[in-house]
């Protein structure tokens, strides 16, 4: 049996500290790469997809803001772009595997989606034959993320 990373929706429980009442409130967070489910966050994106995303000023503004997870409304304010443009740019960044989406579900109801940059470094190089390639360095996955990937793959095997 070979286990391969997948971009399936994975979930696990996390705890939020609530300063107002001094308790911990459970929440479930779902991580996924936006767009086509056949593309894993570890897959190397197409060179042209990365170039298209990095050439776009709105995409660059989004990438500068998404060091930490941000909601669409926070990105709208920070990047000063129209809502329809924001979602198109997020999809462009997603196809280049440069942004991931997080959904947080609170026990009291409601769902909040966050967007986060999914790389540390992007390198575009050309070999001796003139062929371009792209290398994307990703941050190491947390224990929770690795466990969620394993759990998701186990579910696929059953």
Answer yes or no: pTM beyond 0.85: no
Neighbouring C-beta atoms of residue 44, cutoff 10 Å: 12
- If 0-12 CB within 10 Å is exposed, 13-18 middle and 19+ buried, where does residue 95 land? buried
Q: Which residue has the higher pLDDT, 73 or 38?
A: 73
Which CATH code, of 3.40.50.740, 3.40.50.1980, 1.10.10.10, 3.40.50.720, is assigned to 10-147?
A: 1.10.10.10
Label residue 151 by pLDDT band (50, 70, 90): confident
Per-residue pLDDT tens digits for 42-74: 567 899 999 999 999 999 999 999 999 999 999
For the chain, the structural domain boundaries read 10-147
**Nearest-10 crossing angle of helices 83-95, 57-65:** 80
Which residues does 52 contact at the CB level (< 8 Å), separation at least 6? 92, 96
Three-class SS state of 39: coil
Token pair in block for residue 28: 């479930």
């Amino acid at each position: 049996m070979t286990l391969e990373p997948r971009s399936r929706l994975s979930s696990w429980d996390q705890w939020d500290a609530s300063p107002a009442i001094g308790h911990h409130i459970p929440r479930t967070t779902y991580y996924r790469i936006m767009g086509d489910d056949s593309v894993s966050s570890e897959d190397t994106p197409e060179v042209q997809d990365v170039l298209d995303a990095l050439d776009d000023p709105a995409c660059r503004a989004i990438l500068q803001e998404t060091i930490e997870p941000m909601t669409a409304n926070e990105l709208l304010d920070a990047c000063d772009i129209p809502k329809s443009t924001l979602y198109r740019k997020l999809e462009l960044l997603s196809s280049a595997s440069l942004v991931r989406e997080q959904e947080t579900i609170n026990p009291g109801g409601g769902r909040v989606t966050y967007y986060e940059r999914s790389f540390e470094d992007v390198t575009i190089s050309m070999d001796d034959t003139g062929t371009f390639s792209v290398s994307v360095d990703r941050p190491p996955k947390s224990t929770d993320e690795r466990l969620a990937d394993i759990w998701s793959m186990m579910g696929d095997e059953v």
